[in-house]
A and B are shown apart, each in its own frame.
Chain A
Amino acid sequence: MVATPVRTPAEQALAARYPAERTSLPGTADVIAIRDAAFGGVEKSGLPHRRVEDWKYTDLRARLKTFPPAAGPGDVARVLIAAPAVEGDKARRLVIANGRYRPELSDLEDLEPGLSIFSLATALEAGDATVLAALKLDDAVASNTAVALNTAFMTDGLVIDVAEGAEVGRPVELVHIAEGEPAASTAVRHLVTVGKAARLTLIETIESLDTVAHHSNVMTVLEVGEGAKVDHIRLQLEPDEAVSLTTLVARIGREANFDTFNAALGAGLARAQIFAEFAGRDAQAGFRGITMLSGRRHADTTLSLIHGAENCQSRELYKAVIDDEARSVFAGRIAVPAHAQKTDARMMTASLLLSEEAEADAKPELEIFADDVQCGHGATCGAIDEDLLFYLLSRGIPKVEAESMLILAFLGEAIDEIQNQAVHDALIHRVEGWLKARAA
């Protein structure tokens, strides 16, 4: 029984767009071949639906109503005056407006020694061998629908290299801005390589200047070298109308130290995917994030971590606050192959439901083949603790304020792990703003 899939409007739009755009997208014939293969996979299977295990709780076929056309260049003047998402972090801002890297809007002065930044589009046009090699992904990652769509439609992005031993003092901030009407879609790919014993703080912000149904697809491929220390933070801040797909692919080298934090604060439909792998022994990594949802928003965090080397340690902590009719999804999978002895992993997810109509789904999965390991996972889901609330009320604190305090404390456990003070403060500020709006 091979059923002919009924094509949704979004699938039809995709099928019409790709043939029309494939040759005008940046890249040599080799790049077109890679794009063709990626799109072929999506076209064959269609958009994933709830029967596809990886998308069980985020039915893309049902939820994607349309797939808008590619974004135009956008109004540079408006992008120029947009307020930065994070104040006072002294970051080196690199602007990607409507899927295009804008060096003229970016801060490229006094690049630290060992730090190099150039455009992906240029590299694709030149057929740069290193960049082409970096487009190759493991099958499991490459076949993922969000990744495949990114490969097929990517217009630009940044290729960032931090040389061996280089310490990049200023954080590098990738500022993604969507500008203009009507709704459009963008696909951006970044390739970041951090050399042996180098240091980098990488911040990504994704926002939109207009409240229309922009689709953004941002993917970052990160190579963390031996003994390197990398801090990665992503703030996803789009308006409720938007659709936001993000992917992080991280390979963590021997003795490296890696942290990633995802703040899902925006978009009506958001999915943050992380595919991480320990490629060398004795490394450490932290995977954390918060999700704040209201209205009818839907946010999905999907983490796949391969603990592929001996004696690596990881900590996963994801917290979600869900109000109104919103729905939060967490799917985490830790795989420990037989040779990865002495693995130590702790995965925790907690959801706070603030309304009768809210929904939380969690699937914290462990797959273990090594016997000398410590792996644990926990999941909780519930309302605000009555006893804690009562304690605060009995101290004369109004209910709404008491609730806000408890929610902030709940999320704070994850947020406090962010080492960059400016980002930490900016995030707390946004959480407080969200709580104020809720209380009003």
Chain B
Amino acid sequence: MAAVKETVDQVLSIDVDKYKYGFVSDIESELAPKGLNEDIVRFISAKKDEPEWLTEWRLEALRRWQTMEEPTWARVEYPPIDFQDLHYYAAPKKTAGPKSLDEVDPALLDTYKKLGIPLKEQEILAGVERGERPVAVDAVFDSVSVVTTFKAELAKHGVIFCPISEAVKTHPELVKKYLGSVVPVTDNFYATLNSAVFSDGSFVYVPKGVRCPMELSTYFRINEKKTGQFERTLIIADEGAYVSYLEGCTAPSRDENQLHAAVVELIALDDAEIKYSTVQNWYPGDSEGKGGVFNFVTKRGDCRGKNSKISWTQVETGSAITWKYPSCILRGDNSRGEFYSIAISNGRQQVDSGTKMVHLGKNTSSKIISKGISAGRSNNTYRGLVSVGRKASGARNFTNCDSLLIGNRCGAHTVPYIESKNASAIVEHEATTSKISDDQLFYCLQRGLPEEEAIALIVNGFVKDVLQQLPMEFMVETQKLIGISLEGSVG
């Protein structure tokens, strides 16, 4: 089917160029000078008006980072990053503490409007009348959070939802207690870099026994060129609490690469549950692999308490390079970790993603469902670890990772690590790689479906397990995304 394949390639090559969030907002920014040294770290810390202990914390991370080497074990290739040629702080000029939305730079509001992110509470409430659920949004633009909605409504329930830079001032005891307790400062090259220069991100604290009344969401946008975004998110669910958190991200189409090195820490105490969902749609670069975001992210959840649960759901469609392993440390007895992932790579994207499930407590259980779809000239790797400690009696893991290849210039790889030190633990892993089965396709075709629709149907079936885990808000968008990614992929 050579001719058809060519059509496929053609359509797929248009595909990365279909990135619709690639516009640049013309907003005047305040930038830190390029480079990274103690002065820059002090500059960032001073900009955020941070207490002395945090400045020291950052400086220590910087000193540590300077002795570390960039990791090279992932199956990704990219030109060396000049860490001294980046701005480590960029902020829109007119944002110094807007009291209300009216004070926010209209150009900024426009940007979020174009991205389809509702920032005006009235608008969102209008949405409620149309039967949609309200979502509280924290909008992070380059290095600062520009606005957080529904804060008052959340405060009524005792839920703290604010930029982390604000939490440092308003709730220093919580930040000090939990920051770096899941991902230590010295964890890895990018986490350490993040600890030194982290800019903004969300802070969530849900008090004992509270079920967070609405979905919380953060929307990240990188706008300025030659910048790195260093998001830091910290979510704490106290005993018996529940929170569902969504994260979205986009960046303009630029020829040079942008760096996004985030750290996300989740802490679930006794009987608490955190559900964390991501739709990652950073600019993937053009069809020749020029530009795009380098997404080097450390995400880790700590099921610290008994019967706690952390669930990661991710849809990865963007970024030139993804290096991301949302993990669960199952410390508390009977705690549960889940990881649902769809990673779609296209063009020349490179994805190396997966999860780590570290079973430490008794009767802990984990489930990993990962679906990788590679097309174009992309490479898509699942890399995961399931580890069962000596004391984790009765631990249970089920892993299923499937890959689908579209075209023969892409690659799909599976690198699972399974380490069991406890006989009563049961660990199961299964993985398959295949193309869309001719039988399935034939069945659909003989029922009168056009080929493209049949493929979309089969692929949607392939990823169904994961899609069902997404909050409603994301499901529609994701299904559309998968539609775009596969349009015309007949073959």
Residues in chain A within 8 A of chain B (CB atoms): 1, 53, 338, 341, 351, 353-383
* Across the A-B interface, the 10 shortest Cβ-Cβ residue pairs: A353-B423, A371-B405, A382-B426, A379-B429, A381-B427, A362-B418, A376-B432, A366-B414, A375-B433, A383-B423
Task: For the complex, give the distance between the alpha carbons of A351 and B408 in Å.
Answer: 35
CA distance A365 to B430 in the complex (A): 11
User: Looking across the interface, which residue of chain A has its beta carbon closest to that of B403?
Assistant: A368
A-B contact sample (4 more), CB < 8 A, given A353-B423, A356-B390, A360-B420: A341-B408, A355-B423, A366-B403, A379-B430
A264 to B340, CA, bound (A): 37
Q: Is the CB of B415 within 8 A of A363?
A: yes
- Per the bound structure, the CA–CA distance linking A356 and B424 in Å amounts to 8
Check A380 against B408 for contact (C-beta < 8 Å). no
5 A-B pairs in the complex with CB atoms less than 8 angstroms apart: A363-B416, A366-B413, A376-B432, A377-B430, A380-B429
Total A-B contacts with CB atoms under 8 angstroms apart: 119
Could you tell me if A365 and B414 are in contact, using CB atoms closer than 8 angstroms? Answer: yes
CA of A370 to CA of B413, assembled, Å: 11
B93 sits at the interface (CB 8 A):
no
B412 in contact (CB, < 8 A) = yes
Q: Is B272 an interface residue (CB 8 A)?
A: no
- Residue in B409, B428, B432 whose beta carbon sits within 8 Å of that of A375 in the complex: B432
B114 within 8 A of A: no
Bound: A381/B433 CA distance, A: 22
B419-448 to A contact mask, C-beta < 8 Å, 1/0: 111111111111111110000000000000
Task: Evaluate contact between B418 and A370: CB separation under 8 angstroms.
Answer: no
Q: Does B73 contact A (CB under 8 A)?
A: yes
Q: Once the chains are docked, how many angstroms separate the CA of A370 from the CA of B407?
A: 8
- B411 an interface residue at 8 Å Cβ cutoff? yes
- CB of B241 closer than 8 Å to a CB of A: no
Residue from B412, B417, B431 within 8 A of A377 (CB atoms): B431
Q: A379 to B418: give the CA distance in the assembly, Å.
A: 8
Given contacts A351-B420, A363-B417, whether A376 and B411 have CB atoms under 8 Å apart is no
Q: Which residues of B contact A377 (CB under 8 A)?
A: 414, 429-432
B124 at the interface (CB under 8 A from A): no
Contact B418 A381 (CB under 8 A): yes
Q: Residues 393-415 of chain B: 1 if any A CB is under 8 Å from the residue's CB, otherwise 0?
A: 00000000001011111111111
Q: How far is the CA of A351 from the CA of B405 in the complex (A)?
A: 30
Closest approach, in angstroms, between the C-beta of A312 and any C-beta of chain B? 15
B431-A376 in contact (CB<8A): yes
Q: Which residue of A lies closest to B406 (CB)?
A: A371
Looking at the assembled complex, report how far the CB atom of B394 sits from the nearest CB atom of chain A, in whole angstroms.
10
List B contacts of A378 (CB < 8 A): 428-431
B433 adjacent to A373 (CB under 8 Å): yes
Q: Which of A357, A358, A365 gathers most chain B CB within 10 Å?
A: A365
Q: Given A374-B434, A378-B431, A368–B411 Cβ distance below 8 Å?
A: yes
* Interchain CB contact (< 8 A) of A370 among B73, B408, B415, B428: B408
Assess the B423–A371 pair: CB atoms within 8 A.
Answer: no
Chain B residue nearest to A345 in the complex (CB): B433
Cβ-defined contact, B420 with A381, below 8 A: yes
Contacts of A53 in B (CB 8 A): 73
Q: Given the known inter-chain contacts A369-B410, A373-B434, A376-B431, please indicate yes or no for A356 contacting B422, CB distance below 8 A.
A: yes
Q: State the B residues within 8 Å of A (CB).
A: 69, 73, 390, 403, 405-435
CB neighbours (8 Å) of A367 from chain B are 411, 413
CB-defined contacts of B423 to chain A, threshold 8 Å = 353-356, 358, 382-383
Asked if B413 and A380 make an inter-chain contact with CB atoms under 8 angstroms apart, the answer reads: no
Partner of A365, one of B73, B406, B416, B427: B416
| Smallest CB separation, A381 vs chain B (Å) | 4
* Chain B residues within an 8 Å CB radius of A376: 430-433
What's the dominant secondary structure at chain B's contact region? strand
A357, A365, A373: the one within 8 Å of B435 (CB): A373
Cβ contact within 8 Å between B413 and A365: yes
Q: Is the CB of A364 within 8 A of B420?
A: no
| Interchain CA distance A365-B416 in the complex, whole Å | 6
Nearest A residue to B399, CB-CB: A379
Chain B residues with CB under 8 A of A357: 390
- B428 interface neighbour in A364, A365, A380, A383, Cβ under 8 Å: A380
Determine the distance from Cα of A380 to Cα of B430 in the docked complex, in whole angstroms.
9
A365 lies within 8 A of B415 (CB): yes
A260 to B414, CA, bound (A): 24
Find out whether the CB atom of A369 lies under 8 angstroms from the CB atom of B411. yes
By a CB distance below 8 angstroms, the chain B residues around A379 are: 416, 418, 427-430
Q: Roughly how many angstroms separate A356 CA and B393 CA in the complex, as a whole number?
A: 9
A380 and B411 contacting across the interface, CB-CB below 8 Å: no
Contact of A361 among B407, B408, B419, B429 (CB under 8 A): B419
> Do A368 and B427 form a contact, CB below 8 Å, given A361-B419, A375-B432, A375-B434?
no
Chain A residues closer than 8 Å to B432, beta-carbon distance: 374-377
Query: From residue B435, how far is it (CB to closest CB) to chain A in Å?
Result: 5
Q: Is the CB of B408 within 8 A of A369?
A: yes
Distance of A360 Cα from B415 Cα, bound (Å): 17
Q: Are A380 and B427 in contact, with the CB atoms below 8 A?
A: yes
- Cα of A351 to Cα of B428 in the assembled complex, Å: 10
Residue in A341, A357, A370 whose Cβ sees the most chain B Cβ within 10 Å? A370
- Chain A: which residue is nearest B400 at the CB level? A378
Q: Assess the A338–B409 pair: CB atoms within 8 A.
A: yes
Of all chain B residues, which has the CB nearest A339?
Answer: B408
Question: With the chains together, A112 CA to B431 CA distance in Å?
Answer: 46
Contacts of A382 in B (CB 8 A): 420, 423-427
For A359, what are the chain B residues with a Cβ–Cβ distance below 8 Å? 419-421
B5's nearest neighbour on chain A, judged by CB, is A371
CB distance from A7 to the nearest CB of B (A): 23
Instruction: Indicate which residue in A341, A358, A366, A383 contacts B433 across the interface (CB closer than 8 Å).
Output: A366
Is B424 a contact partner of A383 (Cβ separation < 8 A)? yes
Which of A353, A356, A368 sits near B413, CB closer than 8 Å?
A368
**Nearest Cβ distance between residue B383 and chain A, in whole angstroms?**
9
Contact of A364 among B411, B426, B429, B433 (CB under 8 A): B429
Bound CA–CA A323/B155 (angstroms): 56
| Min C-beta distance of B218 to chain A, whole Å | 35
List of A residues within 8 angstroms of B409 by Cβ: 338, 369
In the complex, which residues of chain A have a beta carbon less than 8 angstroms from the beta carbon of B413?
Answer: 365-368
Least Cβ–Cβ distance between A308 and chain B, in angstroms: 15
> Which chain A residue shows the least CB distance to B404?
A371
Chain A CB count within 10 A is highest, among B390, B433, B434, for B433
Q: Residue on A with the closest CB to B414?
A: A366
| Residues of chain A contacted by B426 (CB below 8 angstroms) | 380-383
Pairwise interchain contact B418-A371, C-beta atoms closer than 8 A: no
B403 to chain A, nearest CB (A): 7
| Chain A residues, CB < 8 A from B407 | 371
Residues of A within 8 A of B411 (CB): 367-369
Q: Which residue in chain A gives the minimum CB-CB distance to B375? A: A371
Residue of chain B at shortest CB distance from A322 = B423
In the complex, A180→B348 CA distance in Å? 60
Q: Can you name the residue of chain B whose Cβ is closest to the Cβ of A386?
A: B424
The CA of A53 and the CA of B73, in the complex, are separated in Å by 9
* Chain B nearest Cβ from A430, distance in angstroms: 23
Residue of B412, B420, B435 ringed by the most chain A CB atoms within 10 A: B420
State the CA gap A353–B395 with chains docked (Å).
Answer: 14
> How far, in angstroms, from A371 to B410 measured CA to CA in the complex?
8
Residues of A within 8 A of B406 (CB): 371
Asked if A370 and B414 sit within 8 Å, CB to CB, the answer is no
Contacts of B414 in A (CB 8 A): 364-366, 377
| Distance (whole angstroms) from the CB of B448 to the closest CB of chain A | 25
- Give the residue among A357, A360, A374 with the most B Cβ atoms within 10 A: A360
Q: Is the CB of B405 within 8 A of A353?
A: no
Q: Considering the chains assembled together, what is the distance between the CA atoms of A373 and B406 in angstroms?
A: 11
Residues of A close to B422: CB separation below 8 A? 353, 356
A354 to B420 Cα, complex, angstroms: 12
